[in-house]
């Protein structure tokens, strides 16, 4: 849309850092722009899946007005925001992911039958407004093209309206309401076909990122902050082929591997040490992988490193073998912990027997060396479905369509006097992303080398080229 030649634009506010725009600018800035004819897109593939999810929400909350907010920009420092990422429930129920608009609201208005659903968002302003040229956060002159109401309605196959037409009411049910938060979280426990494809895509890109890390290991050993080299090459792959990472990459070399969420990544990468890399690419759809591999920096596991590694692998394989439809989620963890208890007892690390360590009340001595859980659901959030009830999650039963991690580890802190010196400073985690099917579990990340021999061969190949 263009304005009449003689119409002048309203003036942007003057600040302590800006000169007012001169008259000539204001008189001409809104004119001289070509029309923007819009051809409406076909609905994106996830639109039909999102519609089915909205139907489930509507059926669960008859007569209630539901308001699902995308969230807003969050400031990082002056004039600088964190990259916007929509709330996961909003993305799940709209199919609007990396390209969604901040401050959007999905509203379920009770209707005669079910709900009328409308997506409210801030439509792009036309060029007669100060927003267009003077608003650095949302103006198209600054951030690039923004979508129209009709374009988003066609793309997501949902009714749209301008954000100004939305008003909140006192009895709205929002994500701050436990019942709604729980429902939309539990709705994500079983992934549909679209989500499973996106999980596969996220894992595939992650696999390429790990190949890049292998190729960069020699460089990493030559850099004072080698862990940053590792983080950086993964980041490059994540940004080039996806939206980014689903969580901050952990590049933890040597004793840092024993800090479970080491994301400072400012250490050296030394030949002879292991480096634990926990990294996952988030696809443009916001589905994320979550994979850990522990690599010998010089390409070969020492005897003690291999012993620890193979125990963690044994625990991972035991967990995988325990996972099948109908089994409780916690049984997967228990299978891994049985191996950890058995081996740490055999190594003489425990003041009790493995059996005693596994006692639910008096045991847990082995947990000193693996304090975290073995599994969590995975999806749009790296720790997905977090508001699900315990009976649906930890005590819940595995079903086809669930995606979760298996990620046992062993961590012997550098100053842990309960372990022989040769163990100290060794941390190993092996994390894979598992899809449950009616026929049993599928390891989506199985193509990323995981046995000690495969890893040594992978590093040998990677350093050749």
Instruction: Judge contact between 407 and 427, C-beta under 8 A.
Output: no
When asked if residue 33 is in the footprint of ligand GLY (CB under 6 A), the reply is no
Closest CA to 404 of 415, 419, 414, 392: 392
Nearer to Mn ion, 147 or 408 (CB): 408
Count Cβ atoms below 10 Å from residue 229 Cβ, excluding itself: 22
Position of minimal CB gap to ligand GLY: 278
Binding partner selected for residue 123 from ligand GLY, Mn ion, none, CB under the kind-specific 5 to 8 Å limit: none
Pick from 278, 317, 432, 433 the residue near ligand GLY by CB under 6 A.
278
Taking each helix axis from N to C terminus, what angle separates 452-464 and 303-322, rounded to the nearest 10 degrees?
120
Binding partner selected for residue 332 from Mn ion, ligand GLY, none, CB under the kind-specific 5 to 8 Å limit: none
Residues in the chain: 465
Count Cβ atoms below 10 Å from residue 167 Cβ, excluding itself: 8
Nearer to ligand GLY, 285 or 374 (CB): 374
When asked if residue 433 is in the footprint of Mn ion (CB under 5 A), the reply is no
Pick from 278, 282, 381, 433 the residue near Mn ion by CB under 5 A.
278
Of residues 364-383, which lie at the interface with ligand GLY (CB under 6 A)? 376, 382
Hey, what are 295's tokens?
A: 């690599």
Taking residues 180 to 219 in sequence order and writing x for each that binds ligand GLY by CB under 6 A, - otherwise, the string is: ----------------------------------------
Helix (H) or strand (E) holding 153: helix 149-156
Taking each helix axis from N to C terminus, what angle separates 226-241 and 193-221, rounded to the nearest 10 degrees?
150
Of residues 279-308, which lie at the interface with ligand GLY (CB under 6 A)? 290
Of residues 389-418, which lie at the interface with ligand GLY (CB under 6 A)? 407
Pick from 128, 294, 311, 405 the residue near Mn ion by CB under 5 A.
405
Closest CA to 173 of 89, 63, 54: 63
Nearer to ligand GLY, 66 or 430 (CB): 430
Min dist. Cβ of residue 244 to ligand GLY (A): 14
Beta strand pairing call for 173-174 and 105-110 = unpaired
Hey, what are 284's tokens?
A: 């443009």
User: What is the dihedral sign for C-alpha 82, 155, 197, 400?
Assistant: positive
- Give me the residues that bind Mn ion (CB under 5 A), please: 278, 290, 405, 431
- Give me the residues that bind ligand GLY (CB under 6 A), please: 247, 278, 290, 376, 382, 407, 431
């Amino acid at each position: 849309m263009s304005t009449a030649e003689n119409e002048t634009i309203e003036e942007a506010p003057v600040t302590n850092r800006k000169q007012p725009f001169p008259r000539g600018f204001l008189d001409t800035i809104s004119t001289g722009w070509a029309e923007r004819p819009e051809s409406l897109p076909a609905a994106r593939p996830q639109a039909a899946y999102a519609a089915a999810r909205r139907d489930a929400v509507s059926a669960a909350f008859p007569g209630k007005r539901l308001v699902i907010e995308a969230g807003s920009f969050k400031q990082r420092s002056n004039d600088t925001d964190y990259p916007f990422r929509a709330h996961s429930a909003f993305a799940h129920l709209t199919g609007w992911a990396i390209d969604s608009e901040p401050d959007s609201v999905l509203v379920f208005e009770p209707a005669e039958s079910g709900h009328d659903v409308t997506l409210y968002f801030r439509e792009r302003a036309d060029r007669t407004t100060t927003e267009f040229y003077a608003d650095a956060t949302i103006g198209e002159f600054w951030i690039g093209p923004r979508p129209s109401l009709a374009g988003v309605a066609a793309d997501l196959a949902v009714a749209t309206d301008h954000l100004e037409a939305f008003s909140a009411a006192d009895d709205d049910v929002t994500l701050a309401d436990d019942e709604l938060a729980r429902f939309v979280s539990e709705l994500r426990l079983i992934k549909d076909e679209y989500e499973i494809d996106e999980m596969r895509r996220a894992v595939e890109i992650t696999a390429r990122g790990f190949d890049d890390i292998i190729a960069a290991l020699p460089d990493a050993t030559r850099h004072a902050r080698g862990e940053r080299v590792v983080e950086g090459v993964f980041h490059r792959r994540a940004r080039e082929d996806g939206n980014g990472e689903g969580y901050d990459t952990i590049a933890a070399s040597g004793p840092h591997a024993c800090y479970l969420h080491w994301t400072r990544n400012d250490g050296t990468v030394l030949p002879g040490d292991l480096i634990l890399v926990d990294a996952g690419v988030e696809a443009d759809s916001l589905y994320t992988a979550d994979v850990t591999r522990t690599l010998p920096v010089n390409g070969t596991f020492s005897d003690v490193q291999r012993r620890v590694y193979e125990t963690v692998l044994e625990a991972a394989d035991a967990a995988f073998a325990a996972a099948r439809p109908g089994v409780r989620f916690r049984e997967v963890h228990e299978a891994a912990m049985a191996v950890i208890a058995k081996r740490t007892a055999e190594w003489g690390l425990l003041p009790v027997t493995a059996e005693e360590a596994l006692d639910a009340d008096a045991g847990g001595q082995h947990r000193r060396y693996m304090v975290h859980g073995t599994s969590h659901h995975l999806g749009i959030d790296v720790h997905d479905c977090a508001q699900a009830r315990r009976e649906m999650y930890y005590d819940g039963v595995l079903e086809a369509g669930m995606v979760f991690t298996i990620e046992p580890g062993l961590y012997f802190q550098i100053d842990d006097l309960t372990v022989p010196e040769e163990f100290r400073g060794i941390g190993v985690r092996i994390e894979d992303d598992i899809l449950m099917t009616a026929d049993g579990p599928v390891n989506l990340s199985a193509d990323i080398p995981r046995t000690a021999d495969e890893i040594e061969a992978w590093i040998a190949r990677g350093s050749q080229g």
